[in-house]
Amino acid sequence: MPTREEHADQAVSLRGSVTQALRERIVTGDLAPGTRVVERQVAEQLGVSRVPVREALRTLEREGFLEERATRGMVVRRLDPDDVAMLFAVREALETVLSQRLVDVLDDDGLARLDDLVVTAEQHLAAGRQGEAVRCNADFHAVLVDLADSRVLTSIIEPVAGRMAWLLNQHAAPAEIIEEHRSIVAALRSRDAGRAAAEFRDHLASSRRAVAQLEAGLTT
């Protein structure tokens, strides 16, 4: 019979799984901004009770993915311009730290993982699988954080990275991103911290321009 501690661990694990499942649906655009997220429906879809769903919704509200409205309940947020500007500012500061850490710790196996992701994204794009190329490009950033091998850095970057992925899931130029990722890998391979930081900044600036163009298109 499970102990009280084991029950508590199971509850935390279930809540985390539900939170991750919902976060992924928001980040990938499956749940678009303005979509209602109904506790009962989510529980039925995931085959769980409503308790971990309720806790997951509150977690995602604190993370900024959801907001509670008086007439509609929980809905997926749409980031306002101030949110977007601050998100890019925070990400730029974190990537300065990340690039330095990677220059210090990245080995040949890690570089090979990054090379493989760039090549795979390129192959998907060449075969007309744009959605797969976009997902592969997103994986590139997750692997960068993993290769940094720092629990502190991971815990700080992951929430921001999730929101960046959410913001950029409609990026219209995966080919451009692939080339920028190739430049980042080359800079990391050179072990030049300044060059690596510059490549990260250029990549972020490109993403900022893409978001600005997307937002301009939505408002015209």
Distance (Å, whole) CA 138 – CA 23: 15
Of 76, 97, 113, which closes a domain? Answer: 76
Of 20, 48, 76, which closes a domain? Answer: 76
Q: What three-state secondary structure class fits 38?
A: coil
Number of structural domains (the chain) is 2
pLDDT in tens, 93-113: 999 999 999 999 999 999 999
CATH number of the domain bearing residue 24: 1.10.10.10
Q: Assess whether 192 and 94 both reside in one domain.
A: yes
CA angle 39, 44, 45 (to 5 degrees): 100
Mean per-residue pLDDT over the chain, rounded: 87
pLDDT in tens, 178-193: 999 999 999 999 999 9
Q: Assess whether 101 and 119 both reside in one domain.
A: yes
- Which residues are 73's β-sheet partners? 69
pLDDT of residue 218: 53
Is residue 29's pLDDT more than 80? no
Is residue 89's pLDDT more than 50? yes
Q: Assess whether 99 and 168 both reside in one domain.
A: yes
pLDDT band at 174 (very low <50, low <70, confident <90, very high): confident
Is residue 205's pLDDT more than 60? yes
pLDDT of residue 71: 80
User: Could you tell me if 20 and 56 are in contact, meaning their C-beta atoms sit under 8 angstroms apart?
Assistant: no
Q: Assess whether 52 and 152 both reside in one domain.
A: no
Q: Assess whether 48 and 154 both reside in one domain.
A: no
Of 17, 45, 76, which closes a domain? Answer: 76
pLDDT in tens, 56-72: 999 999 888 899 998 88
Is residue 9's pLDDT more than 60? no
CATH number of the domain bearing residue 213: 1.20.120.530
Distance (Å, whole) CA 110 – CA 105: 9
Q: What residue numbers bound the domain in which 195 lies?
A: 81-219
Q: Assess whether 172 and 205 both reside in one domain.
A: yes
pLDDT of residue 7: 46
User: Could you tell me if 37 and 76 are in contact, meaning their C-beta atoms sit under 8 angstroms apart?
Assistant: yes
Q: Assess whether 72 and 98 both reside in one domain.
A: no
pLDDT of residue 110: 97
HSE of 215 in the Cβ direction (CA atoms, 13 Å)?
Answer: 14
Q: Assess whether 90 and 177 both reside in one domain.
A: yes
pLDDT of residue 36: 94
